[in-house]
Every structure is written in structure tokens, then in C-alpha cells.
Structure 1
């Protein structure tokens, strides 16, 4: 067991309704935005609980420098690989909440592309003395890409969707989402860095943004008790994606039919 396993930290936030309204506008959602006292849509807590660090405590990628909370495992590239959430009560805008984060597991392995480190964080969000959301966040750390190495083939997206929706991601949308979530990762707004340092074809669409859209699609059928998602291939800002649903299974397909994210929704 890694010595950092079990380490915790707690952040508090007033859940300003203006920030939820800004995300509502950024996503182009219909109807009124959440006001003070209203329940927040699922996953809107991503725009709260900022970890605001000064520049000297950031890594080259714009994220908090490794060794701050998450230990430095010697691997510079960070990716949000997936997660799962349990919703037990709605979070309400304008009411203070507390998020307690625990490093639940750290595992170091060797994959086809070299050494990998898997870090699972657990976030428990409490409001009014009640646990409202439990979230497991799965992070992967890896080496810089080898330009000469072939990229692994992504899996194909499923067929037989009952509902689909095409969606595009402009640099403006990615910038606004980065700003609202206080996500400094340069792959989402610095095209030169994303291409030349991390080896992507362009700006990378945030995994949590894709998960957010899938959650909103799933919630169209009713409230959610849980949601789990897994990223399988990056989506680039110049690509049009397809959001798809078949019963409680959801996914994001790239324009070439590759699977970018898969998810399972649990109705309340």
C-alpha cells in the first residue's frame, strides 16, 4: 500500500447560484437556471470546491503540482479515466456544502505504452449535515508519448441507440468549462501544448464535460441514483460527437465510429 493512501483533505463552498447559472448557460441548456434553494442538476458540483493554488505550486500542465495532495509518481501526463457517483440527496444552490476527499487507492503497473499509475479519489459531499453525493474519481498518470510508437486502436461504439444527439465543442466552450471548473490542464485550451507535448491532434474535450452531457441525457428519463462512466479514447475539439442512449446504457461516439466514453445510469 502506498503511504499516501488514506490521506484526506476537506474543502467548503457556498455553492453560489451564479456559478451554476454560468454552467447552465455554457452548456446551452433550456429553461431557467438553478436559483438559490433549487436542486442542482447532477454533476454540477464540478464547478465548485476549487483548489486555488498560486502559479508556483502548479505543474507544467497547469494542474496542481504532483506532491501537493496526490504524490509524485514520476509520470507527467494526467488523465481523468472515469468515475462513478451515488446521488442520495440533491445539492441545493446557495447553501454551504463540504467536500471531503480521500486518496482511496494508488496502483502502479506496466501497460502496452509503458509504466502507468492509477489513483482513485473518493469525494463525499455533505450539505446540511447530510451526505448528498459520493463520487469516485479515477485518474491515470503515464509517460510522455513516443512519437514513433503506434497509437492503440480505440474500441468501436455500440449500435442500436434509441436516442442520439450530435454535439460540437468549440474552443470557447472548452475554455468556459475549464474556467468554471477551475481546471488549468493545458490540453483543453493550449493547442500547441496539447499537440507538441502531449501528442494530441488538437484541443481535448474534457472527460467530465462528456460525462456531464451524458448525465443530463440520462436524467431526461427521471432522477438518477447513480452513474458510472469510463473514457476510452480522446475526443478533439474539431470533431462532432454523437451522444447515444439505449435504455440505461449511454455512450459518446467520435465521427469515425470510435467509442470515446461509455456509461451506465442507475435510475432513482
Structure 2
């Protein structure tokens, strides 16, 4: 099924420096952010909030589908991955605009049942020039059946040139949800995450994992020009993960049992 792809959403944001500073502190990367300071890659997700009244939210805390995102008839939403082109750094304290269009929306049949795939294209401009372009891949699926085994995740590489390990907790997940205005209950409502969506705990945000990989990649390569990532298995809030650098621009997140949670590729 192919949906109408004509919907466009535009909004602006003053790009408050304090919000970027708060995010860096939450990630344990404190840094001075003033007006005009270039922001780290992917920090545009702290801005352009889509604030909706309670009646316009779905059961999962996200805005109800049927607006720019078509209703795929499937209740569970996951951020599957994305591709980013960084043309010039987004700068703090200078108003920017964001235009979002639906690049693709289609149904497919997977091994676990019907799936809905939506790709959003976000283009951000500042001072009359394009700053970045992002393709955001979302997947929608049915609720898990209680008697069906969970799929076996892929195993992660172990040949990294560099890696560091960090843990997560409900406080960090709550703060990141607040900074990005992400109401998805799998990140802060433990009963909902377990009983409705079938996870073992609170789910670490896919964008948070991607953000940490991007910060690592920027340390290795300098200013990023491109970054792509794909989530392959969820990471729970009680787990530690290894953030791995392959030396050739590849990077990935490895869970405590060796499973691959995310794989990515960066370019400068």
C-alpha cells in the first residue's frame, strides 16, 4: 500500500543555547554553549518540539498518527534508523526553520507479521542557508503475541580499534525524553514497556545511542559530513553497552551479551 506523500510540515525554533548545554551535561559532556556556538551533530533533535494537547496523543505518548505521518493501522512505533547530511554546523541562539515531508510510506509483510515503513525527510535552514538534511526511518508493527518467541538479534563485531563502556538508568532516559520532548512511554513507563510492548525494561532511545556514536565519531574524524545508522536490537535501561569504533568510519553499539544494538557509518 502506497500512501499520499504530499503532506509538508514547517516550523521554526530560536535554538536556545541553554537546552544544548543541558543535554551535554546530561550526557556527561559539559561544554560552554553561547549564542553562535556550533552545536554537536544531531543536536537539532533537541529543538522543533511538536507540542500537542493530551487528546491529540496516542496510547504510547506520541502524537496520534494521521497527520503528516499516515495511519498504518499498527500500534507500535520504533525509530529504525536514519541518514544525515551535515552541510554546516547548526549554531546556538540563531533562529532556524525545519521543513518535514514524507519521503516514503508503505506496508510490507515481515516474518513477525505486517509492518509499516515511513521515511521522513527533514531539512533545516539557518540564516537562509541549508544546514542539514535528515532521512528518518520509522517502523510500525503489531503488539507482540505472548506465545511468540522474540527474534534472535545479530551478534556485534569484536574487532574494534577503540571502545568505551557506559551504563544507562531511568534518570538519563527521563532527562533525554524531556530535552527532546519525546513522550514515548517505553522510555519512562516501566509497566507500559513490559506489559503492553513486551520489553524487558525501559528502552534506551535509539536516537540517544546514535547521538553517543556521533559524538565518538566526531572525536575521531573531526566535523562530520555524513552519518547513517540502523537499530538492530533494543538496549534496556539496566544494561551497559560498549560503544565501538572500527577505524574506517564504522561504529556500533554492543550489548552486554554481545548482541548488536546499532550499527553506523560516519564520514568527515
With the shorter chain as reference, the TM-score category is over 0.9
What whole-Å deviation, never above 9, does each CA across 1:89-112 have from its counterpart, x for those lacking one?
A: 111000000000000001100101
SS of the aligned residue for 1:70 comes to: coil
Residue 116 of structure 1 corresponds to 115
Provide the C-alpha distance between the structure 1 equivalents of 2:116 and 2:142, rounded to a whole number of angstroms: 10
Deviation readout 1:148-180 (Å, 9 max, x if unpaired): 001111000012111101011110000000000
- Output the TM-score relative to the length of structure 2: 0.98
The 8 Å contact of residues 10 and 100 in structure 2, kept in 1 or not, is answered as yes
In structure 2, the residue matched to 1:257 is 258
Q: Tell me if the contact between 2:108 and 2:116 (Cα under 8 Å) persists in the aligned partners.
A: yes
Q: Deviations over 1:168-207 (max 9, x none)?
A: 1110000000000000000000000000000000000000
Q: Which runs of 5+ in 2 are unaligned?
A: none
**Are residue 94 (structure 1) and residue 93 (structure 2) matched?**
yes
Task: Show the 5 A alignment for 1:33-52.
Answer: 33-52=32-51
CA contact (8 A) 1:61 1:185 kept: yes
Question: Is this contact kept in 1: 2:3–2:105, CA < 8 A?
Answer: no
Measure, in 2, the Cα distance between the counterparts of 1:107 and 1:219.
34
Q: Which residue of 2 aligns with 1:197?
A: 196
In the TM superposition, what whole-angstrom CA distance separates every residue of 1:181-239 from its partner, at most 9, and x where no partner exists?
00000000000000000000000000000000000000002111100000000000010
**CA displacement, residues 5-48 of structure 1 (integer Å, 9 cap, x when unaligned):** 13111010000001101101110104x23211100000011100
**SS across alignment from 2:186:** helix
**In the TM superposition, what are the counterparts of 1:1-268 in structure 2 within 5 Å?**
2-30=2-30, 32-221=31-220, 222-247=222-247, 248-267=249-268
- CA distance in structure 2 between the aligned counterparts of 1:118 and 1:73, rounded to whole angstroms: 8
After the TM superposition, which of the residue ranges 246-255 and 32-41 deviates more from structure 2? Answer: 32-41
Contact in 2 for aligned 1:20/1:33 (Cα 8 Å): no
Is residue 3–residue 106 contact of structure 2 (8 Å, CA) maintained in 1? no
Counting matched residue pairs gives: 266
Q: CA–CA distance in 2 between the matches of 1:149 and 1:104?
A: 33
Unaligned 5+ segments in structure 1 are none
Contact 1:24 1:33 in 2 (8 A): no
Does the residue aligned with 1:69 lie in a helix, a strand or coil? coil
Task: Name segments (4+ residues, structure 1) moved above 6 Å.
Answer: none
